[in-house]
Structure 1
Amino acid sequence: MIRPKWTPVAWLADRMAVLVLGLIAGFLVGLSFAGDGRILPAATTVASTDGPAPSPVPPAPPVAAQGVDGPIPPQVTARMRRGGVLRVGVFGDSFGNGIWDALYRQLPTSDGYEVLKFAKEATGFTRYRTLDLEKRAYEQLARDPVDAVVISFGANDAQAVYDDGHLYPLMGDGWKRVIGQRVDRFVAAARSTGAVVYWVGLPVIRDPQLDADMQAMDGFYEAHMRRLGVPFVDSRPLTLGADGKYTAYLPDSKTGRPVLMRTGDGLHMIGIGYQRLTSGVAADLRRYAARVRQAAGRPAPTPTGEPR
């Protein structure tokens, strides 16, 4: 198959279309909320064969795994002792907004949780000229420290990244270097309050080329999370149909009957779809909350047994 040749104008128009659809879907997802994936442990020039080679960056040393079964940081115990709740912060783009709503419903206040939304649509690691995610995260967590962080980025990052006067193509060596450094620093910011961290990967996308880009980025993110000791939630198995392809209808967790879980843009999900992606994270955080309450000498609240 011969693919059409992309001009810079056509490429920008295509990515702008994805962004517009993402913004629209973000609003629709907010109104929509009413199988088994894996949580894995853990003057501008174009950089090309004609451009400057990216500077070699030695790999960062592995970070000790930090998860729900590891030591409880003293600041987390102290916050539980004072407030009696496990505070969960959700970072991301429009997907992050959906992840926040899902966890907000799965971890209700009446059960001893506070789920905070730090996500912002139309953001990403390729867009630091618009918003520096690392700086914003430190500012947010200084105001509202949390005990657990859930991250979901990537919907807006299937594009080149501008850095230090150069435009590095998607998934090229320069792109991986720049985005990898930003991801590493962002995770460090997320951990600055003693929080355990999860990264939720991207679901299957309807458009084949965009899905291939997203899958490649997810592999990159997963490798970074493994090195950083961050559990990675592989969303693809949860969003594939029985034929192994994209489908808007997926089995309901209780009845097994197919129900609509995707929005019409072929990118985002509706409320029940996001809850499908976060059920494993929610279960882990309930277990962690029980350990933290025990360490803080706090009695467990009487659970409602039902999500919001």
Structure 2
Amino acid sequence: MREQDPSPRRRAARLLGILTLVLVGASLLAPDTVDTWADTRDAGWERATTRAWADPMGELSRRLSLDAPLRYVEDLLDRAAPAVADPAVRPAPVTSSTPEATSNSQAPSSSEALLTNEAPPTSQDRLASDAPPITRPPRVGDAEQPLRILAVGDSLMLDLQYGLERVLGQRSDVRVVGKGALGFGFTVPHWDWDDDVLVDYDRLVADVSPDVVVVMIGANEFEGHAIEGLDLVPGSRQWREILALRADEAIAHWRAGGAHVYWWTTPRMRDARYLTDDLNAIWIETTDAWGAGATMLESMAVLGDNDGSYREVLRDETGAEVPLRKEHGVHFHEVGADLLARQLEDRLVGDGWVAPRS
């Protein structure tokens, strides 16, 4: 006699039971992953609901050491990693011999401004496109020993690094290694900062031995994710503090081998919710603290209009309009990447890293 097929309701109940077992098992064996899942939910009821699951499951897992096998494997992989240089040390701030003003109307320092609700200085206020070289390069790239450039960042750098390859790839005295990452951000918790991001930077620096590290990042810093349960509302004090801390740590690891850092400001975007001026104030503050080891490049000097404002198109030599920014007003087309690459080349020539094109 043929066995009767289970009813749809029974099949659905069986599937639900299997999925529940998988969720419980994954939560107990990999609680850090579940924490990340909760931190990347939309703020509000969705994040509160997932946290209500992730927090007790993580506490139970760690109390019973159910996450020990995964941590053991991670430790084995860490021990197999190649030796890397220690992070660079940020130079001590230069103190002024000028007596401090005692007036109560004294303007706040830039670091104080970052931690208040006051509007920060824009990158246009702080940067000049014709800024003089701030350091003498240790060597000039040539065909025998090309200048090694490591390009890092998020999806903005993914667009830009292809422009670097098109423009600088024509030179025999430059070698570009592009490592932009789709979806990455300093406040995106899909990557563990200490165990994934900084370790990856160390390995890249060890593998490439860059003379110069170039950076563009910022497209994903406005999503309002949470890190270790702390909501990072764009523009908030917590958001600024986390970004400043991680930017400083990133530079320390990029400069582990003595590389100079060129950091582009995050381009202004079409949507006003992208607080790029706030973000760039953090990048500028951080690079300033590294003195001669880091230089800011103003992206809107080539992507913006005459006032440095957002623009959708530019005009070619015939006067025809050429699309500059992509559909959502965040990323840029090839023409924008090439303009930024030429901007970097001009700066590298001006700073003495490479010779002018013959």
| Alpha-carbon contact 1:99-1:278 (below 8 Å) kept | yes
| 3-state DSSP of counterpart to 1:8 | coil
Deviation (angstroms), 1:246: 3.3
Equivalent residue letter for 1:8: A
Distance in 2 of aligned mates of 1:195 and 1:109: 22
Distance 1:148 1:255, change over 3 A: farther
Distance in 1 of aligned mates of 2:297 and 2:279: 14
Equivalent residue letter for 1:226: D
2:264 matched residue in structure 1 = 200
Deviation (angstroms), 1:170: 2.1
Distance in 2 of aligned mates of 1:256 and 1:102: 23
Deviation (angstroms), 1:286: 3.3
Distance in 1 of aligned mates of 2:171 and 2:307: 40
1:3 matched residue in structure 2 = none
Deviation (angstroms), 1:278: 3.3
Distance in 2 of aligned mates of 1:221 and 1:128: 20
1:173 aligned onto 2:237: yes
Distance in 2 of aligned mates of 1:278 and 1:256: 23
Equivalent residue letter for 2:93: P
Pairing partner for 2:347 from 278, 284, 303: 284
- Select between 235-244 and 120-129 the one with higher mean Cα deviation: 235-244
Deviation (angstroms), 1:169: 2.2
| Alpha-carbon contact 1:95-1:155 (below 8 Å) kept | yes
2:43 matched residue in structure 1 = 8
| 3-state DSSP of counterpart to 2:273 | helix
CA displacement, residues 147-166 of structure 1 (integer Å, 9 cap, x when unaligned): 11100111001133534442
Distance in 2 of aligned mates of 1:200 and 1:156: 15
1:272 aligned onto 2:335: yes
Q: How does 1:205-216 map to 2 (within 5 A)?
A: 205-210=269-274, 213-216=275-278
Pairing partner for 1:152 from 208, 216, 224: 216
Pairing partner for 1:124 from 176, 185, 195: 185
Equivalent residue letter for 1:278: A
| Alpha-carbon contact 1:197-1:231 (below 8 Å) kept | yes
Equivalent residue letter for 2:347: D
CA displacement, residues 103-142 of structure 1 (integer Å, 9 cap, x when unaligned): 2122125431110012111001002442533221111111
| Alpha-carbon contact 2:300-2:308 (below 8 Å) kept | no
Deviation (angstroms), 1:61: 3.7
From the CA coordinates, give the structure whose radius of gyration is larger. 2
| 3-state DSSP of counterpart to 1:208 | coil
2:135 matched residue in structure 1 = 70
1:143 aligned onto 2:204: no
Question: TM-score scaled to structure 1, two decimals?
Answer: 0.65
Distance 1:274 1:245, change over 3 A: same
CA displacement, residues 205-254 of structure 1 (integer Å, 9 cap, x when unaligned): 112233xx1221112212222222322122234333468753321134x6
1:31 matched residue in structure 2 = none
| Alpha-carbon contact 1:94-1:119 (below 8 Å) kept | yes
1:99 matched residue in structure 2 = 160
| Alpha-carbon contact 1:68-1:196 (below 8 Å) kept | no
1:225 matched residue in structure 2 = 287
Structure 1 residues without counterparts, runs of 5 or longer: 1-6, 13-42, 45-58, 292-299
Give the alignment's Cα RMSD to 1 decimal: 3.3
Fraction of identical pairs, as percent: 22
Aligned length: 234
Distance 1:84 1:101, change over 3 A: same
| Alpha-carbon contact 1:202-1:218 (below 8 Å) kept | yes
| 3-state DSSP of counterpart to 1:197 | strand
Distance in 1 of aligned mates of 2:283 and 2:217: 10
Runs of 4+ in 1 over 6 A off after TM superposition: none
Distance 1:262 1:93, change over 3 A: same
| Alpha-carbon contact 1:68-1:285 (below 8 Å) kept | no
Distance 1:170 1:69, change over 3 A: closer
Equivalent residue letter for 2:326: T
Distance in 2 of aligned mates of 1:216 and 1:11: 27
